[in-house]
Amino acid sequence: MLRSIFFLIPFLTFQSCRSQKAETLPSQKDDNSLLWEISGKGLKEPSYLFGTFHLMCKKDIAFSTNLLKGLERSKELYLEMDLDDAANTLGAIFFMNMKDGKTLKDLYTPEDYNRLEHFFKDSLQTGLSLFQKMKPNFLEAMLYPKMMPCAQMSGIEQELMIIAKKQNKTINGFETIAFQAGIFDSIPYEKQAEALLQTIDSIESYSKTFNSMLEVYQKQHLDELQHLLDKEPGFSDTKEVMLDNRNKNWVIQLREILPEKNIFIAVGAGHLVGENGLISLLKKEGFTLRPIENTTK
């Protein structure tokens, strides 16, 4: 489930760019950019689409000048979920649990459960007693820090929120925590349990895959990102529910949002690529998508 990782900056004084036409941000020479301008179809001002990496070393998070300009010019920041809403952040604890009283012991043989328990105790210095009802996919997310070579971690969304708040921008989300939790409920818990066990049995291999994804992300090679996602075990089984359907739902919302206001959209980079990625779907809606130069050095 490493694909879900898709799914810092000094304070910039906010100055309105509405009084005069803002300069056009420079185009990337090819499509290998995480930052895209959305225009056309009668839009008065462009909006921006940016692909994120949900968790990485804080020291590695940096934003380009063009990205900061795009955010500054936008009226609102849109994330997959409004992380500034306490109902989403605090409510996550409730929605992490499996339905119908299921527990981890129901999903594993005694031998496999013991392996899982020993791994969490030895590698994460925590027992499983507090997590008996937690969905295995959420437990798997707890393993990501073990794959990272740093103590201080952050998410790109969190760092963008810091800037947006200082600019007094509204922060919105396309989904609620209840909706996202429902996505994981639609994936059989048995399959989630199997994936979790595979991850702990191959933690070194998954660490290498994680680092490969991060490297491709930092290089902004969208074709390579698509390739890594496609070859990840189990991706084809969950792609429709984890990416495709969500992208389509977001585009339905964007049909109404984009004509009303220009926004900065920041969602996992995996949502940008492919036939049912946001870049392709928004083009099919009649919008013009232009890659923006997004180097940070």
- Determine, yes or no, domain membership for 176: yes
Domain that holds residue 13: 2-83+149-180+204-291
pTM: 0.87
| pLDDT confidence bin for 141, thresholds 50/70/90 | confident
* Residue 106 covered by a domain: no
* Residue 91 banded pLDDT, cuts 50, 70, 90: low
Give the whole-angstrom CA distance, residue 226 versus residue 21: 36
Q: Read off the tokens for 90.
A: 């605090």
Residue 199 falls inside a structural domain: no
CA 264/CA 173 separation, integer angstroms: 11
First-residue to last-residue Cα distance in the chain: 31
Residue 270 domain-assigned?
A: yes
Question: For residue 77, what are the β-bridge partners?
Answer: 171, 264
pLDDT in tens, 33-64: 999 999 999 999 999 999 999 888 999 999 99
CB burial readout 176-193, b (16+ within 10 A) else e:
bbebbbebbeebebeebb
In a domain, 76, yes or no: yes
Q: How far apart are CA 173 and CA 294, in angstroms?
A: 24
User: Would 284 be classed as within a structural domain?
Assistant: yes
How many domains does the chain fold into? 1
Q: Is residue 175 part of a domain?
A: yes
Question: What are residue 263's DSSP bridge partners?
Answer: 76
The answer as to whether 190 is a domain residue is: no
For residues 266 and 35, is the Cβ–Cβ distance under 8 A?
no
Query: Can you tell me the distance from the alpha carbon of 231 to that of 217, in angstroms, rounded to the nearest whole number?
Result: 16
Q: Read off the pLDDT of each residue in 77-99 and give the average, rounded to a whole number.
A: 82
Amino acid at position 182, single letter: G
pLDDT of residue 231: 82
pLDDT for 143 beyond 90: no
- Residue 205 or residue 273, greater confidence: 273
Express each pLDDT in 256-270 by its tens digit: 999 999 999 999 999
Within 96-155, residue ranges assigned H as helices are: 104-107, 110-123, 136-141
Radius of gyration, alpha carbons of the chain: 20
**Could you tell me the CA-to-CA distances from 263 to 31, 47, 169, 172 in Å, in that order?**
21, 5, 10, 10
Average of pLDDT values for 7-14?
30
Q: What angle do CA 10, 60, 56 make, to 5 degrees?
A: 115
